[in-house]
Structure 1
């Protein structure tokens, strides 16, 4: 017992899969227990906090509805397009800023300044500039992801060992060969982790994006349910967004493990 206790509370120590699984299951059971006590015990009025079985029944009902699947599809499309646009523009800028000091002086200061501005503050401007169509909703998610992505990719590029780059020069590589064949491959594992974080932020901005005169999407379904105090439907929308976010997170985690297996021991 003593050895097991030391292992559990050892800083950065290894943990048996059994204990890890128990921890994951335990925290979810604890949350479910607290929710059940407050709802079934009527500590909170069920109009404001539905019971777990009410939410489960509503979830099954919605999953059997084509309209709900349409909401899921359009939300996935908006998140995917906003994230993809941020990657297309943000990754090259981040690599440049992390590689060349001159590019850093141009890119990083304004990006550092803008990233502290909440994406919600840009919604009125986005509606003026892009209207209220799909482009505006995608643009909100883009704004929420882009500036963070640029800075994080720049940090990934700076984290590549300078000794590795100098060795490449010594072996006769030219500047762009060093970037293409050494720097970019070396930062890819950290870049994958960065993208994994950014896609999570993209999902958090979904409801904000769908406030822009939306008539479809999970965020719209949540806001519509709020107007009629359908809290069970609100819970369903939140849970589905969480599950979709978890699926994308697991996809990135799998890709990291699949493409960079030599890093698993280090992690």
Structure 2
């Protein structure tokens, strides 16, 4: 009897481990989050190991304690909150303006070949141009204030976003549109009730991805004539070889970007529960 139970437990264990590595199979949420947490712990231990044993010079990679001390200093002096709020304002405003314009244009390009043929070549041309190359022009166009920084974030985000929204709209099966037309729905009703409802989960994912891209352009946006912001603080620290301040700025950008990403993932699950059969 004991042998039979032992064999069953072994088979159950092998089956569970197989499911963890099965293609696209669901796993318990505790395992999902534990895997992510353990990987963060592994990176932290590796960082601590390299710096504690002086394998890497503190000039190039300061230890966690040095970065923590810099965090406390900037927090106490109010620098960190000022920089984070300035960067968050620029990121959100640049991304929101980009999205407000990209959504209707992407929908038009995804549904009407005329707009796709007219706009896609120009958008393709601009999207391959690096955003940093526009810094001198944006200074001429918008000065050196927040407008210039928001314009850089817009340039870095908009042209990619509009094409992704176009592809989201194109993912709607043509058969679904034809059936809707057969049932007597008007063109506007098909667009509103069929195409947009079908494409909206993909469009929401596009919002999440493009907001992540906006964070990557932050240092470029704050490269010139900034007096606050996480990107500005990183560039200033570079001039004085303050590596702990550079790493703190990078970590803060990554953390704030991760928080916005998780917010989008959470709202995705709430808004589109019907995708999992829960709505």
Residue by residue over 1:224-254, the C-alpha shift from the partner in whole angstroms, topping out at 9 and shown as x without a partner, is 1111111111111111111111111111111
Other-structure match for 1:198: 210
Other-structure match for 1:239: 251
Q: Distance in 2 between matches of 1:249 and 1:68?
A: 21
Verify: 1:52 aligned to 2:64, yes or no. yes
Indicate the larger mover: 140-149 or 186-195. Answer: 186-195
Q: How far off is 1:265 after superposition? A: 5.5
Verify: 1:188 aligned to 2:200, yes or no. yes
Residue by residue over 1:71-109, the C-alpha shift from the partner in whole angstroms, topping out at 9 and shown as x without a partner, is 111111100111011101111111100001111101212
Equivalent positions of 1:32-51 (< 5 A) are 32-51=44-63
Equivalent positions of 1:122-133 (< 5 A) are 122-133=134-145
143, 149, 153: which is aligned to 1:141? 153
Q: Which runs of 5+ in 2 are unaligned?
A: 1-12
TM-score, normalised by the number of residues in structure 2: 0.91
TM-score, normalised by the number of residues in structure 1: 0.95
Q: Distance in 2 between matches of 1:200 and 1:79?
A: 10
Indicate the larger mover: 86-95 or 163-172. Answer: 163-172
Verify: 1:113 aligned to 2:116, yes or no. no
The 1:32–1:94 alpha-carbon spacing in structure 2 relative to 1, beyond 3 Å, is same
Other-structure match for 1:226: 238
95, 103, 109: which is aligned to 1:91? 103
Q: Distance in 2 between matches of 1:167 and 1:153?
A: 23
Q: How far off is 1:164 after superposition? A: 1.9
> Bigger radius of gyration, 1 or 2?
2
Residue by residue over 1:17-71, the C-alpha shift from the partner in whole angstroms, topping out at 9 and shown as x without a partner, is 3332332122112211221121111111112211111112221222233232111
* CA RMSD between the two structures: 1.5
Q: Distance in 2 between matches of 1:255 and 1:225?
A: 36
Q: Which runs of 5+ in 1 are unaligned?
A: none
154, 159, 172: which is aligned to 2:166? 154
Residue by residue over 1:131-189, the C-alpha shift from the partner in whole angstroms, topping out at 9 and shown as x without a partner, is 21211100000001001001000000001122221122112122122212221222111
